[in-house]
Structure 1
Amino acid sequence: MKTTDYYFSVLRVVPNVMRGERVNVGLVVFHPGGHDVTIHLHIIKDRLRALDPNLSAIKWDAWAMQAKESLTAIPVENRVHFLQTAFSPITTDTQTGWFKATSEEEVQDNIDGLLKRLVVSPQRVIRIENKGLPRTTKLQAELKNWFKAQKIMGKNMDDLSRSQIVSEYPVSLETDSYADFAFKNGALHVMETMDLRGVNYLSARLRNQAAFKSIVLDQAREVTQGGGQRIAVVSASDYSLVKPAIKMIERNADDVISMESQEDIDRLIRRLTEALHLTTQLSNPTLNLSHNKITDVAFNKMNPF
């Protein structure tokens, strides 16, 4: 088979040349013959916001379309210089790289490898300990034991691709925020828990905890794009007393599951069974639930989803 040379440039965002700060956001690949140009972006908005909050205003899909049209229309020898000057604060280096390929599949493999080495954030290996709110609640621990009993609890992040649930999923590296659980079926789904059993009044600490959970769910919008859901799992002895806290969580959740509602539990079981491609349906979780259970009708009045 014929081996063909492909040239590429790394796309970088440089919001202020004087500061010298930059972040890689993708590749532009020049295909043989000079007629085709493809742009491959990997945008990590947390990194861009940390560099300059104004960068979040860039419409990346529109930018890629405009850049492709412009590059295709100009002579091959002028394309790199055009990239350096026409799209500030997005630019590229003077020198181009190159790779060889014999098929479209090999081209894509090379592009994926370049993106991983040059653009995608390195895998986090050190976790900063959050000494504020407790990492694990009783409800979170009970759900984790349920997942383990059903043999769907993974041990590390790699298990996401093996139809397993993982815990402490990082939704924002910038703010060191983690979702209680995550699972994947093409799209990523995240799950936050809020344990309000035995609560007789909403203390400032509980309100802050609910606000924190809501913020994590809001930050998870970025990682759940493309069909993923942000799920809140809650349990309470008296939902009428804790309604403000649940309302805060509902604000940024796509679905709210009450563990006192069998209808809600069935919905969660169906979602997990389908997402994890299980051949048998999960059994009900064994939780230490309150005898003062909320009815499905009452909860659904609070739950807009």
Structure 2
Amino acid sequence: MAHIYSYAIIRLMPFAHRGETLNVGVVVFGDTLDVRFSASPSLLEYFGVQSGTLDWLAENLVSLDDSTSPVRDRANEIARFAGVQLSDIGWFSTDDDRQYELRISEIISEYVEKPKKTRARRTSSNLSRDLKKIFQGYQIFSSKIEDIDRHKVIANMPVGPSGKLHIDFLIRNGAYHATETIDFRKSEDAGPSELKNAALANVTFQHAREILGGTETRCYLVYAASSLVETAVFPALEIARKNISDSFNLESREDKARYLDAILAAAGVNHLFS
């Protein structure tokens, strides 16, 4: 006879202000609470969570659970633990203990060890498009390449052999300020795509310095990545940052302000609205 079980994914959120969560295990609401953790030691270390914390958490969840209460109430009690979140409640059915263990293994594999990518609110937009809108809002962007002499930001300035490479954004006021962008918001690690984009950005900077003058060109890498992703794509960032003037993560309010301060100053704008 089939038995139906309710379950939820357990998530840790050590830093509420960052809004980052880490899937660490699954809890099954049976006659007793079945808590299974399977968390990457490297991710736990990044979040500053000791492995013993999970053992402590499992013991407390089981000891405080009231199996006579409705599943929703039991889930709400778990969610009261500081830094702990639960996913929406799901369910599965099994005929015997072997199927039960197999199904839990499948859930852990799918949602904990290899969780589906959760899209951030802004991942549908391209980073270059985001910056262009900001420049347009300050009325310092121009689609005419000759407007660079009027201290306007222009896009896709051709550089390199036969003009095959293009600087994403360029402005001049005494010195040139060249910006290359890389959007890591959909990235999970420094894979081939991330490394190629980083290498291309750095090569483009090299050609820009050759064309515009090495001592008269400031090269800015502007990228977007959450703090967790930023750690994961660090090898790509190392490549892109080589011999440049500065880099800015637009997911950081401070970095965003520093970058816009530099560009607005080059455009002769003396104020900044965030």
Kindly, what percent of the aligned residue pairs are identical? 27
Whether contact under 8 Å (2:194, 2:233) holds in the other structure is no
Q: Given the alignment, which residue of 149, 162, 181 partners 1:174?
A: 162
The aligned residue for residue 281 of structure 1 is 271
Name the TM-score, length of structure 1 as normaliser: 0.46
Q: Which runs of 5 or more residues in structure 2 are unaligned? A: 1-124
Deviation, structure 1 residue 224 = 4.0
Q: Which residue of 1 aligns with 2:174?
A: 186
Residue type at the aligned position of 2:236 = A
Residues of 2 paired with 1:139 and 1:199: CA distance?
Answer: 13
1:187–1:225 Cα contact (<8 Å) kept: no
| CA deviations over 1:127-171 (Å, ceiling 9, x no partner) | xxxxxxxxxx81011001111111111111111011210000112
1:1-305 pair list within 5 angstroms: 138-174=126-162, 176-222=164-210, 223-237=212-226, 238-278=229-269, 280-284=270-274
- Tell me the CA shift for residue 213 of structure 1: 0.9
In the alignment, the residues of structure 2 paired with residue 247 and residue 275 of structure 1 have an alpha-carbon distance, to the nearest angstrom, of 27
Aligned-partner SS, 1:154: coil
Q: 1:260 deviation in Å?
A: 2.2
Off by >2 Å, runs of 4+ in structure 1: 224-228, 260-263
Asked if the contact 1:191/1:231 (under 8 Å) is kept, the reply is yes
Q: Could you list the per-position Cα deviations for residues 173-223 of structure 1 after superposition, in whole angstroms to 9, with x for gaps in the alignment? A: 436111100000022121000100131123212211111111111212221
Larger Rg: 2
Q: Which amino acid aligns with 2:220?
A: I
Residue 38 of structure 2 corresponds to which residue in structure 1? Answer: none
Tell whether the 8 Å contact from 1:189 to 1:224 is kept in structure 2 after alignment.
no
Q: 3-state SS of the aligned residue for 1:153?
A: coil
2:166 is paired with a residue of what secondary structure? strand
Q: Which of the pair is proportionally richer in helix?
A: 2
TM-superposition CA deviations, 1:220-274 (whole Å, max 9, x none): 2221434320110011131111001111111032110111222222221221222
The TM-score normalised by the length of structure 2 is 0.51
CA offsets, 1:15-51, max 9 Å, x none? Answer: xxxxxxxxxxxxxxxxxxxxxxxxxxxxxxxxxxxxx
Are the structure 2 counterparts of residues 141 and 227 from structure 1 closer, same or farther at C-alpha, using a change threshold of 3 Å? same
Question: Structure 1: how far apart are the matches of 2:239 and 2:129?
Answer: 22
Task: Look up the equivalent residue of 2:223 and give its one-letter code.
Answer: V
Cα distance in 2 between the residues matched to 1:147 and 1:225? 25
RMSD: 1.7
Asked if structure 2 preserves the Cα contact closer than 8 Å seen for 1:160 and 1:184, the reply is: yes
Helix, strand or coil at the partner of 2:142: coil
Q: In 1, Cα distance between the equivalents of 2:267 and 2:144?
A: 16
- Aligned positions, number: 147
Rounded to whole Å, the distance in 2 between the matches of 1:153 and 1:175 is 21
